[in-house]
Structure 1
Amino acid sequence: MSAQPSLAVVEAETGTRTTGRYDYLKRILTARVYDVARETELERAPNLSARLANAVWLKREDNQPVFSFKLRGAYNKMAQLTPAQLERGVITASAGNHAQGVALSAARLGVKAVICVPVTTPQVKVDAVRTHGGPTVEVVQAGESYSDTYAHALRLQDERGLTFVHPFDDPDVIAGQGTVAMEILSQHQAPIHAIFVPIGGGGLA
């Protein structure tokens, strides 16, 4: 498991108090991502650093088992579910990386998962979901867009009594992704002047 700084150390160094509706800092420090995810490397990018005349470091989340940080949030959410919720199974809607994270998490936890993806999802991603999830995962292709797929997933959730694992709008999912930042703080002791996050779905931001 990653050696993350304690809550007291983080509060002292950042001047941040962990108060608020969801208490995200506490959630991040107690997230259960390392049952499946790994602490990824923070690597210096020499060519990019030279080109920009600055020190540029890359957080290698592409080295996760599903090649994305999305595994962190998906597993942390599912690890927080009650035994009764896990017994009923989970469902999600995703166009790619979150779907793979839920699939692998379901396989590790031994629970069934229904994963809804748009019909436009590349077959390689659909195959990856099935590979990571194995027999515990059912892939449902529905809708041309994520919005259509999401609506279909909500209907299936009600019909089957499943628990929804949202790709980004959930405090446990957010906390799981937040472990990336804690790793950066522990891996890079020098001052950090800026952090740039590629925005796709925006889950890591």
Structure 2
Amino acid sequence: RQHGGSTVEVRLFGNNYDEAAAEAKRLQMQEGMSMIHPFDDPYVIAGQGTIGMEILKSSVSTPLDAIFVCCGGGGMLAGIAAYVKRVRPNVKVIGVEAADAAGMTASLREGQVVTLDSVGLFADGAAVKTIGSETFRICNKLVDDMITVSTDQICNAIKLSYNDARVILEPAGALGVAGMKKYIEENNITGQTLVAITSGANMDFDRLRFVSERADGSERTLAVTIPETAGTFRALYELIWPRNVTQFSYRFESESKANILISFQPIVNIENDFDNVVEQLNKNDFKCLDISENELAKVHIRHMAGGRSIVPKERLFRFNFPESPGALQRFLTSLDMDWNVSLFHYRNHGDDVGRVLVGIQVGRSCQRLHQFLDNLGYSYVEETDNAAYLRFLRNSDSEEKN
């Protein structure tokens, strides 16, 4: 409305671009309206191509090796390729699509316009089932390459852009950055001048929680099985130290073994550091499974690890400690006690305070426990009677009378 005032009527329809486009075509036919296509129109393509003109004008007499362009229906990619290839044909133009909405990639591979069965909606600004016929014709002739990126790679690009320029991009707007980063890593690119087009910042604030959770490309996650014996809990952590541990989840399962879900950041300047950690764990009989790329684990299991367990005399405590390098190790070292730890959960949320949930098999009548907790030096709250704990983590068979 701000561009047309009272002469504009805004009609919202459908849950995605394709549904809205189908309704627009119906209105065009039934009400005699003119259709201005968002990408498959020569004038729209030409208008988007002026981005390429701006880039080349800004890089006169300077090196420029490649331009990375986000792609939905293909209008921007086609327009930029048309201009750049006419003026500086040696500059590569590379399109970037979300892996779950890669209509242009599929069409170029098949040599014809392909309609996808479905598209993911995380990068909803570029979620198009059917690309344009004109955009396909131009891209098929002029675009050098296509790259597809995952949701995690898009989230990481949003984080990189914020850290570098303090700009929060929407997922579709970060496709160019994500594709450029992937291209550099896969081809070991150094000494080149690359441009990534950032094309939108229509970010829903509630979505930032998901972006933050998935943006850390350096985090690796293992499912580790250890013997349920005294000392193995700390021995596992010491094999990973001094790497930054971002998650540590454990729940008592049986008297013979324990399953741990642990996430950490390998040391970047040590070659094959993650593989070395896995090798050391296996040498110490800590059998582990890499679930870093397991979508079920990342979306659901990491939040559900543990669950109910039959643990007699269990008491539950929440601890807070100052979050700093080595703080979790110091906390684990301070938990040097005679009682069995039956539950442990820690997740680094980037806060200045680390939060740990610990279950201890001790019973309510133990007087030494409070003296031990006070000597720890960390603030804590007992949650043994918390309704959420009783309903979701404590099996009724483990209740006891004190």
Q: Do the two structures share a fold, i.e. TM-score over 0.5?
A: no
- TM-score interval for Structure 1 and Structure 2 normalised by the shorter chain: 0.3 to 0.5
TM-score (norm 1): 0.40
Larger helix proportion of the pair: 1
Greater relative CO (CA pairs within 8 A, separation 6+): 1
Normalised by the length of structure 2, the TM-score is 0.23
